Amino acid sequence: MNNSLHHKTSIYATAITAIFTGLLITLGLPKSLVTYAQSNSPLRASRLVVTSVSPPLLRPISMQPQPFLIYYGWFSQNSTVLAQQARAMEKYSVVVIGSGLENAVNPDFNAARTVIGEDSATAFYGYISIGKASGLPNYSRAAIAQRAKEWAAIGVKGILLDDAGPDFGVSQGRLQSVISMVHALHLHVIVNSWDPAAVIDVGLAPGDGYLAENWAIAAGKVSTPPVEARALAEIKQQHIAVYMTATNAQAPTTPQAVIHDARATLSLVEGNYMAVAGPNYSSTSNRIVPERWVASGLAPASDFGHQNDMRYVVPQK
């Protein structure tokens, strides 16, 4: 092989390697997980070796914020209404569902498992509080592990760890241990801590998330983000998604209200996912905010489109 061809082929091999490297990092792999091995051939062609990925990756983090849903209402045992709920949820890429549904004794257990099992495109997350402050469950680590296993058994892709900051009595060691337990089940985590600095260096991996809950609007009132908001930049550098919420004193009944809350949040928080809800995330109203309403608030310009795409699902038992 002449020197000119050797040089050109080496350039092509290097370029292909760079493309694959960029692709893997875009998908959420940190650079530390990608190593290069040089062959001894005259071309010295590079090959990528992915050393480990745990838990499995969900999807690339989008530059454009995406809607997600937190739904703490119940799942209907009426098959027709349950199908309506499922259709409303399947429009979201991520759905967090409420505590207790992982337990087989819950009357909504089978309905929730059915919706999760039939919607492979949506990543469902189960809820677990890990707080130790007064009024919280203060679960032992064994109890948390059991609940996480039950969630995994019904097909969720991850766990929302609520009440997970120092303001709820959670030490860095406890949080790190719980995250490790969840990862061992090949599940992702979303961590809810008012202080984002509390989730740095606790074992979060690409595909995991941090929940900036109600930083702009809480229960319909203007809220103030924590001073530690600068920690978001470091979180995002680690390929950790930032989830944002805004809640109102009543379940929003118009797209305009949802759009307002989404845009108010985006003006303060540079996040990746956005949820807008009424009080306690539908636990009293059982309303599912249409995904299109939230998407309109995240888009550069609103286009309400067909009104039929914007109806609430208000399930009845």
Q: Retrieve residue 7's tokens.
A: 């040089």
Whole-angstrom distance, CA of residue 223 vs CA of residue 284: 23
Domain boundaries of the chain, sorted by first residue = 3-50, 66-310
Residue 102: alpha-carbon gap to chain centroid: 18
Distance, in Å, from the CA atom of 79 to the CA atom of 110, rounded to the nearest integer, reads 11
The number of beta carbons lying within 10 Å of the beta carbon of residue 148 is 24
Write the CA distances from 197 to 124, 166, 191, 192, integer angstroms: 26, 10, 12, 11
For residue 225, CA distances in Å to 37, 230, 287 come to 45, 10, 27
pLDDT (average), residues 29-58: 35
- Tracing tokens 């995250």 back to the chain, one arrives at 179
Q: Which helix (H) or strand (E) holds 47?
A: strand 46-50
* Cβ atoms within 10 Å, residue 128: 25
- Round the average pLDDT of the chain to a whole number and report it: 81
Task: Kindly state the average pLDDT of the residues 247-255.
Answer: 92
CB atoms within 10 A of CB 112: 24
CB 218 within 8 A of CB 211: no
Please say if the pLDDT value at position 228 is more than 80.
no
Could you tell me which CATH class the domain 66-310 is placed in?
alpha beta
pLDDT for res 220: 92
pLDDT for residue 81: 95
Closest CA to 282 of 241, 238, 310, 251: 251
DSSP 60: P
Q: Can you give the pLDDT at residue 127? A: 98
Query: Is 261 in contact with 276 (CB distance < 8 Å)?
Result: yes
Which pTM was predicted?
0.78
User: Of 95, 97, 85, 154, which is closest to residue 121 (Cα–Cα)?
Assistant: 95
Cα radius of gyration (the chain): 22
Is the link from the previous residue into 55 a cis peptide, with omega within 30 of 0? yes
**Looking at the predicted structure, is the pLDDT value of residue 112 above 90?**
yes
User: DSSP strand E in 101-222: where?
Assistant: 123-129, 158-162, 188-192, 209-212, 217-218, 221-222
Q: Is 301 helix (H, G, I), strand (E, B) or coil?
A: coil
- Residue 63 has what pLDDT? 74
Of 264 and 317, the structure prediction assigns the larger pLDDT to: 264
C-alpha to C-alpha distance for 247 and 214, rounded to whole angstroms = 7
Q: How many CA atoms lie within 13 A of 242 on its CB side?
A: 29
pLDDT surpasses 70 at 311? no
Q: pLDDT tens-digit profile of 44-78?
A: 233 222 323 344 444 556 678 999 999 999 999 99
224 pLDDT band (50/70/90 cuts)? confident
